[in-house]
Chains A and B, each alone.
Chain A
Amino acid sequence: MKPVHDIASNRLSEQQIHDNFSDLHPPLSDLQARAEAARCLFCHDAPCIEACPTDINIPGFIRRIAMGNLKGAATEILDANIMGDTCANVCPVEELCELKCVMNTAEHKPVTIGLLQRHATDYLFAQGVQPFERGTPSGKRVAVLGAGPAGLSCAHRLALHGHEVDLFEARGKAGGLNEYGIAAYKMLDERAAREVEFILAVGGITLHTGKALGSELTLAGLRNDYDAVFLGLGHNAVNRLNLDGEDSSGMHNAVDYIERIRQEDLTSLPVGRRVVVIGGGNTAIDIAVQTKKLGAESVTIVYRRSQQQMSATWHEQEIAQTNGVLIKTWAQPVGIVHEEHGLTGIVFETTRQNDDGRLEGTGERFELAADMAFKAIGQVLDTHAVGNELNALQIEHGRIAVNDQRRTSLPDVYAGGDCIAGTDLTVTAVQDGKLAAEAIHESFSTEVQHG
């Protein structure tokens, strides 16, 4: 018997929804923070620092927490990573700093660096302290495209050096994926907006929303008007399954729906009774967990390889599983089943890895009932979506090519974040922006010296 098509909002009470979307990891109390900070060995040449893409002096800030110097701790963090507050909440610390913590060996439990970092940044924000000041105006002007983590980081660092920044954002709000793309239970309340406000408060940065490359802006025009340009364009498209019925009702891009969860009233968001998620990354986990939290009865993630091969970290997988999400592996979608009223199921073929390590179908098929299905199979930079604007730049593997300094093939154009090759993490985007800003600043200084 075919299941009854069923997509509805208000599956749970307002209170249940509120509880479900409360903090993933509750913050540390002062007592907990001091006890946790005391666990840090203050390693020399610490492995955790090496694992941090933004080079935060982790033992340094933890020691400041231990000594009751929370402002100093937060400043140490933000000096290296202006989005240290977001990163404390969304970084896959289990694969970065906490993975390298020597206490894994000593006690089989790392120092909870992420929570300690948040303890410090929460303090700073609660106190309303602004430790940064714009540098003496240099007379140089830089256009930063995209007010996501890469663009905000770049703009802030440029402002510290005294350069004037026009920050252009295609959407209505700054923040990028922090505002639109990260699971709601990781970025509670107005954390993303609070951070944007903090960054812009340094001065010297003018935010222009609703301005996109290829529409209101052209690269040539920006290069003409500004001393340098930074591109923090992010992703602008998602991969496709290339199956019939892919765009029919009931089929969704995970990123679009995650955005709705972040931006809309959760109680009025419709969600399926049976949800199927296709993909194996953190986006798949985010949509699966959140639809479950919205009241979906069964949520199944289907991934074509093994659980170990999923790009979602073990910690993320654990979050899914403890939230009652079923993770099914070794199957790929081959058909979308529709009836008049909408989606009823997804047909999968089981897969295996052949001797060459390549994935192949076995011919065996099964159908999973679904009234809502999400594609979480990767996001890309569609270079054509911005007209011919990127034609002047060297593109490699679908991303803007840059050198170590995040300089593109054009001498005055820099890029960072998801639009260049890398790990697609907030923290690496922040580092890209920071490095690009330093390179831009250096190029100005060199100019002056040689001028």
Chain B
Amino acid sequence: MADLSCNIAGVTSPNPFWLASAPPTDKQYNVERAFEAGWGGVVWKTLGEAGPPVVNVSSRYGSVDYNGQRMVGLNNIELITDRPLEVNLQEIAAVKKAWPDRAMVVSLMVPCEEQAWKSILKQVEQTGCDGVELNFGCPHGMSERGMGSAVGQVPEYIQMVAEWCKTHTYLPVFVKLTPNITDVRFAARAAHAGGADAVSLINTVNSIVSIDLDQMAPTPTVAGKGTHGGYCGPAVKPIAMHMVADIARDPETHGMPISGIGGISNWRDAAEFISLSCGSVQVCTAAMRFGFDIIHEMTNGLSNWMDSKGYNTLDDFRGRAVPNVTDWQYLDMNYKTIASIDQDKCIECGLCHVTCEDTSHQAISKLKTADGKRVYEVIDDECVGCNLCHLVCPVDGCISMVEVDNGLPYMNWGEHPNNPMNHS
């Protein structure tokens, strides 16, 4: 059986599945339930400065449902922990003591002053935790007070705070990045330059998930008003993976440990993030949707898949997909696939035909036989290999994309005769 143990920036856990800094990690009670269920670690919900805690509003989450599935996307307008700092610190210490093998990372967010960071780091060190994660991502509420994504959107601030933290603690420092920027590499480079041990990404995406058409207000609605919130869940996974891959490929940050976050809901999502070089993976929405028991499928599924591939440890496949992520200009212009329909599997829904006909290349013909059977066939000469039919077909394995051996050598856009740069 595969070994799922995980080590990222010196923080170890029995498996790579951590609960992200969020409502599920706000209290000793929740976190111990998670550890009992089998979670490898947690990032404790963000702590702020000592003093009166922040106040959260009533009605905090909004959901994107799709075709009968709930919470394909989730957003929230909750702030950092609204419990006193001392209570959180006591509980963190107690949990870490009771569960020494689990990763305990503490998320932090204090004003952009060196003294504030120094002070909280000293207090957090007392808990025996394994690391800290700097919350530079929260896109709502805190950012309006000059914290969260207000810091994460300015690379100079990221570097400055990371440096302060590295100066004032021995703990590994994770910098949590916001996706609400144009190019995440600048933020990651800043974290790296500031000496951060790892980055965590993505934090939530700015969003309005829905408008209540009766109240004519965004949801979640607070006394008739709504505001933008942080979007997460399966819907954001593609955005997260793109950013993770960018950081993994960037010469300046290549090799920097990454804790992957963004819609991870099952073992396969986790395997994909790890293949893009993530050390641990952090989960929130899936746990908030189903409870902590999903960890059993996650660890079991990952382990079985690793066994089937002959991977003994996470390092055996970590980052394996990174070399295959490239820029468009390096793709092979001469590579050709075309769709192939397995007539025995076809259920005659006609979706391949109508979508190709209406929205693509008119490359699937439709024929009705005398006995009323509908036959759909690919017109090879018209098919550009776009995959659309393969994607819309409701039957697994019915439409496959078949590689055509045209005997042509690799040629990228830079080499292509149609490239205007080649005519100068």
Contact = CB atoms under 8 A, between A and B. Distances in A.
A46 B366 CA distance: 13
Contacts of A43: 348-351
Interface class of chain A by DSSP: helix
Interface in A16-49: 34-35, 37-38, 41-47
B375 to A, nearest CB: 12
15 contacts: A38-B68, A44-B351, A44-B353, A45-B350, A45-B366, A47-B348, A47-B374, A66-B67, A66-B68, A102-B347, A102-B349, A105-B347, A105-B348, A106-B394, A106-B395
A38 B72 CA distance: 15
B354 interface: yes
Nearest to A67: B67
A38 B366 CA distance: 25
Contacts of B68: 34-35, 37-38, 66
Contact of A106 (B347, B353, B372): B347
A44 B354 contact: yes
A432 to B, nearest CB: 23
B366 to A, nearest CB: 8
Q: How large is the interface on A (under 10, 10 to 19, 20 to 34, 35 or more residues)?
A: 10 to 19
Interface in B327-364: 347-351, 353-354
Nearest to B368: A45
A102 B348 contact: yes
Contact of A41 (B353, B372, B394): B394
B349 A41 contact: yes
A115 to B, nearest CB: 16
Nearest to B392: A41
A38 B350 contact: no
Contacts of A106: 347, 394-395
Interface in B289-335: none
Contacts, number: 37
Contacts of B366: 45
A47 B347 CA distance: 11
Interface of A: 34-35, 37-38, 41-47, 50, 66, 102-103, 105-106
Interface in B363-392: 366, 372, 374
Most B CB atoms within 10 A — which of A42, A102, A105? A102
Contacts of B349: 41, 43-44, 102
Contacts of A46: 350
Contacts of A102: 347-349
A37 B68 CA distance: 9
A45 B348 CA distance: 10
| Residue of A34, A42, A45 contacting most chain B CB atoms (<10 Å) | A45
A424 B366 CA distance: 34
A43 B275 CA distance: 37
A38 B68 CA distance: 6
A45 B395 CA distance: 18
A102 B395 CA distance: 11
A106 B350 CA distance: 13
B399 to A, nearest CB: 14
A437 to B, nearest CB: 28
A46 B347 CA distance: 11
A343 B177 CA distance: 89
A440 B374 CA distance: 35
A390 to B, nearest CB: 36
Given A35-B68, A43-B350, 10 more contacts: A37-B68, A41-B349, A43-B348, A46-B350, A47-B348, A102-B348, A102-B349, A103-B347, A105-B348, A106-B395
A34 B66 CA distance: 11
Query: Lowest 5 A-B CB distances belong to which pairs?
Result: A44-B350, A44-B354, A38-B68, A105-B347, A102-B347
A38 B347 contact: no
A50 to B, nearest CB: 8
Nearest to A66: B67
Question: Which of A37, A38, A106 has the most CB atoms of chain B within a 10 A radius of its CB?
Answer: A106
A35 B350 CA distance: 22
A134 B307 CA distance: 70
A46 B350 CA distance: 8
A4 B348 CA distance: 58
B319 to A, nearest CB: 38
A104 B185 CA distance: 50
A419 B113 CA distance: 91
B214 to A, nearest CB: 13
Contacts of B348: 43, 47, 102, 105
A25 B319 CA distance: 55
Contacts of A44: 349-351, 353-354
